[in-house]
Structure 1
Amino acid sequence: MQRITITLTDEIVAELDRFMAESGAQNRSEAIRDLVRRALLARPEAPETSPCLGVLSFTVDQTTRNLGARMSLRRLAQHDRTLAALSVPLDHSTSLEVEVARGSVGAVRAGAEALFLERGVAHGALALIPVAEAGPRHSHAGEAGHEHSHTVVQTSFVPKDGAS
C-alpha cells in the first residue's frame, strides 16, 4: 500500500465526512479508497479506439484566473471534435457548461479528464455513447450539397474486430 497526500476543499472534506458517517467508513483513508474504487469501476469498459460521442457536463468558476481563455483555446484546439457547446450562466461567477464531442473513446475520455482537472472546473461528468458511421459516403438524389455519411447510435461498444 502507498501513502499519498491530497488537498481537498473544505466543502469536499465536509461531504467526505458525511459519506463516512453514512457508509460506516472508519477513517478518511478508508472512505477515499472506497470512493476511488467505485469511480474506477463505474467507468464504462470500451476499447480506446471505439468511436463515440461524449457528453461532458461541468461547472466553471468564471473568476478563476485565465480559465476563460484556456477554455476557449481548448475548444479551438479541438475544433474537429467539438460538435456543440452550451454555456448556462448560473450566477455572477458560475456557469454550467455542456459539450458534445466526437472521436475515439480514448481521445474523448482524455480530453474530458484533462478538462475536469482544470482549477475552477467542478462537477465534471462524462457520458459515452457508442456510435458507428453508417454506410459509404453519399449524397441524396436531387439535392445540391456535399457528400456525407451518417452517425448511428449503437447499443454497446464493440471491439473493432467484431469479437465479443
Structure 2
Amino acid sequence: MRRITVTLDDDLMDELDQVVRERGYQNRSEAIRDLTRQGMQQTLLKTGSQKSCIGVLSYVYDHEARDLAKRLTNAFHHAHELSVASMHVHLDHDRCLEISILKGLLDDVKRLAEHVIAERHVMHGKLSLIPNSSED
C-alpha cells in the first residue's frame, strides 16, 4: 500500500469527516479508499463500453399480461451468454419481481437490460453495474 498526501479545503474536509462518522469508518483513509473506488467504478462504466461488467437487473412485471413472461424468457434466451442467474419472487396475485445477474461487455448488458425494462407491463426496472476488473 502506498502513502500519499492530499490537500482538501476546510468545507470538503468537514464533509469527509461527516461521512466517516455517519458510515462508521475507522479512519479517513478507509473512507477515501471507498469513495475513490466508487468514483473509479463510475468513470470506468461511463467510458468503457467494451469493458466487462457484472449487472444486477431487477424488475417488477404483471405476470398476467399476455405473452409477457414468454417475451421476457425469450429475451434472456437470446442473450444466454450474459445470464448468470436469476431469482423469481411472487409479490402478490398480479405482480412478480425478478432479479437477474448478468455478466458481459457493458454495452451488451445495458442493451439487454434496456430491452427488458422497455417491455410493456414491466412496471419498474433498475440496472446496477459493477466493473468486472478480473477480466480486464
TM-score w.r.t. length of structure 2:
0.63
1:94 and 2:124 matched: no
Matches within 5 A, 1:118-133: 118-133=119-134
Within 1, Cα distance between the matches of 2:65 and 2:77?
Answer: 20
Distance across 1 between alignment mates of 2:47 and 2:54? 12
Q: CA deviation at 1:123?
A: 1.4
Query: Unmatched 5+ residue regions in structure 2?
Result: 1-41
Aligned residue number for residue 112 of structure 2: 111
* Runs of 4+ that moved beyond 6 A: none
Alignment of 1:15-164 (within 5 A): 45-133=46-134
For the Cα contact (< 8 Å) 2:75–2:112, is it kept in 1? Answer: no
Residue 133 of structure 1 aligns to a residue in which SS? Answer: helix
Deviation, 1:121, is 0.7
**How far apart are residue 50 of structure 1 and its match?**
0.8
Give the letter for the 2:115 counterpart: A
C-alpha displacement of 1:63: 1.2
How many residue pairs match? The answer is 94
Choose between structure 1 and 2: higher helix proportion: 2
The Cα of 1:72 is off from its aligned counterpart by 1.3
Structure 2 Cα separation of the partners of residues 57 and 130 of structure 1: 18
C-alpha contact 1:46 1:105 (8 A) present in aligned 2: no
CA distance in 2, matches of 1:46, 1:60: 31
Other structure's SS at 1:76 match: helix
TM-score w.r.t. the length of structure 1 is: 0.53
Task: Give the Cα–Cα distance (whole angstroms) in 2 for the partners of residues 47 and 122 of structure 1.
Answer: 29
Q: Identity of aligned pairs, percent?
A: 32
2:132 partner SS:
strand
Secondary structure class of the residue paired with 1:115: helix
- Provide the rounded CA distance (Å) in 2 between the counterparts of 1:48 and 1:88: 31
